[in-house]
Amino acid sequence: PDHGYNDALVYISQAYHETKDYNFYFTKRFWVFRHFSHFLRPGAVRYDIPNEILPYGTVAVAAKNVDGVYATIFVNRNVTEQVIRMKLPGEGGEVTNAVQTTDKDDFAAVTVPAVSADGTFNLNLPAKGVLTIQFTVGGPIAAGPAGKRDIVGKAEGEIHAKNGKRGRRWWKMR
């Protein structure tokens, strides 16, 4: 149930002593936090996605985890869906997982987008939602220095976002 609170990750009913409702209630904030804690693991190398080149109202974080799997978390604060065309770095990469949190979904698995032969695919970022994709890449990718935390790495790939009728490149990992 929605208790109308928004300042914590988990709640129990305030009237639990009367109702005997000892259940935990997870807020949307909990599910958004889970995207970051689940997909960005300790030791991950962060890749720069400048906010000024993202569609208005959208932010993103990308990282390569120590297991070699990349994760990109997109947060769309707009009331409309945003469409992004992404090109994976390297050759022969694939999207292996996609999870979203929206007003209707809580950390729900969604269909993994098909990657074309040139490594591109489309992402539909849900309105007022968070979408995380995990992907692997083939071929050599340059990364930031090993052993440092929160390092901006470098790789090859790009993302194009459509903001209304305008398309623009907003991320290039080099």
pLDDT digits (tens, 9 = 90+) for 131-141: 999 999 876 55
**Alpha-carbon distance 83 to 62, whole Å?**
17
pLDDT of residue 163: 41
**Alpha-carbon distance 35 to 107, whole Å?**
8
- For the cut 70, the answer to whether the pLDDT of residue 90 exceeds it is yes
The phi-psi region of residue 55 (left if phi > 0; otherwise alpha if psi is between -120 and 50; otherwise beta) is beta
Residue 40's nearest CA partner among 8, 63, 67 is 63
- pTM as predicted: 0.75
The pLDDT > 70 percentage for the chain reads 75
For 117-165, strand residue ranges (E) read 120-125, 129-136, 152-153, 157-163
Amino acid in position 57? G
- Span 96-102, average pLDDT: 96
Q: For all residues of the chain together, what is the average pLDDT?
A: 78
pLDDT of residue 102: 95
**pLDDT interval class at 4 (50, 70, 90):** low
Cα-Cα-Cα-Cα dihedral sign, residues 138, 142, 148, 149: negative
| 45, 144 contact by CB (below 8 A) | yes
| 130, 72 contact by CB (below 8 A) | no
| 115, 7 contact by CB (below 8 A) | no
- If one compares 69 and 55, the residue with the highest pLDDT of the two is 69
**Alpha-carbon distance 61 to 26, whole Å?**
24
| 31, 73 contact by CB (below 8 A) | no
Residue 104 to residues 31, 127, 148: CA-CA distances in angstroms?
A: 12, 11, 38
- For the cut 90, the answer to whether the pLDDT of residue 65 exceeds it is yes
- If one compares 146 and 56, the residue with the highest pLDDT of the two is 56
Q: What are the φ/ψ torsions at residue 87 (nearest 5 degrees)?
A: -115, 125
Write out the two tokens for 29: 């904030």
Amino acid in position 64? K
Q: What pLDDT digit, counting tens, does each position of 7-41 carry?
A: 778 877 777 778 888 788 888 888 899 999 999 99
